[in-house]
């Protein structure tokens, strides 16, 4: 670790560059909010256009959805614990909680892929109806974000394992943490306005 660490600031905020990187990432998340808003708007408008295909009631199963939700919610919690350990300067704690976070994230992606394959076997594909186009694009975009996040976090973890906890690796870990929590925020709205709304009779 570099000798000139300002103890009044957390590790990820040590340099002006890091401060700008983190602020820049918040700007990116602002753009992500709007990206997902357009997909939610599309889904909301199309959600009753079935074109003779299956409806939400035919497809959605609450048990699988709840498992996905709990997996992602817990991974957001363990990611918070990872950053908490980082602030206590515990490299091992940080890496351990990050591994758990990514396993939960991988479990989520696995569940979602299984769900999609199941739908396609029931004849519910992206081409079936406007409802399903909107559904697969919204959930697919979110699932893609989680998958990319897993790959990104693995690379950050390799850097931390090799270089240790420095102001630079801490900033990178903090930013992937922000990204991961954001994906859980998006999922809360998918859970509420796609699944729960679809299952209300």
Partner 1 sequence: MDHHSNGFPITQVFGFVLSLVLTFVALFVAIKTSLSFNVIIWTIGTLAVIQAGLQLFMFMHLRDGQDSKAQTINVIYGVFIAVLTVAGSIWVMSFGGM
Residues 186 and 190: their CA atoms lie apart, in Å, by 6
Q: Which of 128, 133, 182, 194 binds partner 1 (CB under 8 A)?
A: 182
Q: How far is CA 48 from CA 42, 59, 110, 145, in A?
A: 11, 14, 28, 26
Q: Binder to partner 1 among 13, 126, 130, 154 (CB under 8 A)? A: 13
Tell me whether residue 103 or residue 120 sits nearer to partner 1 (CB atom).
103
Choose the binding region for partner 1 from 26-34, 113-121, 144-152, 162-170 (rule: CB under 8 A).
Answer: 26-34
Is there a contact between 104 and 112 (Cβ–Cβ < 8 Å)?
Answer: no
- Closer to partner 1 by Cβ: residue 17 or 123: 17
In this complex, which beta carbon is closest to partner 1, that of residue 141 or of residue 158?
Answer: 141
Query: 121 or 200, CB closer to partner 1?
Result: 200
Residue 64 exposed, middle or buried by CB count within 10 Å (0-12, 13-18, 19+): middle
Residue 50 binds to partner 1 (criterion: CB under 8 A): no
Indicate whether 38 belongs to the interface with partner 1 (CB under 8 A): yes
Which residues, numbered 78-107, are part of the site for partner 1 (CB under 8 A)?
79-81, 83-84, 87-88
Element (H, E) at 45: helix 16-46
Q: Is 66 in the site for partner 1 (CB under 8 A)?
A: yes
Residue 40: partners with Cβ closer than 8 Å, 6 or more residues away: 138, 189, 193
Q: Are 1 and 165 in contact (CB under 8 A)?
A: yes
């Amino acid at each position: 670790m570099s000798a000139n660490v300002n103890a009044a600031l957390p590790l990820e905020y040590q340099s002006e560059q890091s401060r700008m990187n983190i602020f820049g990432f918040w700007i990116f998340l602002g753009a992500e909010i709007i990206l997902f808003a357009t997909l939610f708007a599309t889904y909301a408008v199309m959600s009753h256009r079935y074109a003779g295909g299956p409806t939400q009631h035919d497809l959605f199963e609450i048990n699988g959805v709840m498992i996905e939700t709990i997996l992602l919610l817990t991974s957001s919690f363990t990611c918070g614990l990872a950053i908490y350990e980082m602030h206590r300067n515990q490299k091992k704690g940080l890496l351990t909680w990050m591994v758990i976070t990514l396993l939960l994230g991988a479990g989520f992606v696995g569940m979602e892929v299984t769900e999609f394959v199941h739908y396609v076997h029931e004849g519910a594909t992206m081409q079936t109806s406007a409802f399903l186009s909107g559904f697969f694009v919204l959930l697919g975009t979110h699932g893609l974000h989680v998958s990319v996040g897993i790959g990104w976090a693995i690379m950050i973890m390799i850097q931390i394992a090799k270089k240790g906890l420095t102001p630079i690796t801490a900033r990178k870990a903090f930013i992937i943490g922000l990204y991961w929590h954001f994906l859980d925020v998006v999922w809360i709205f998918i859970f509420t306005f796609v699944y729960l709304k679809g299952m209300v009779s």
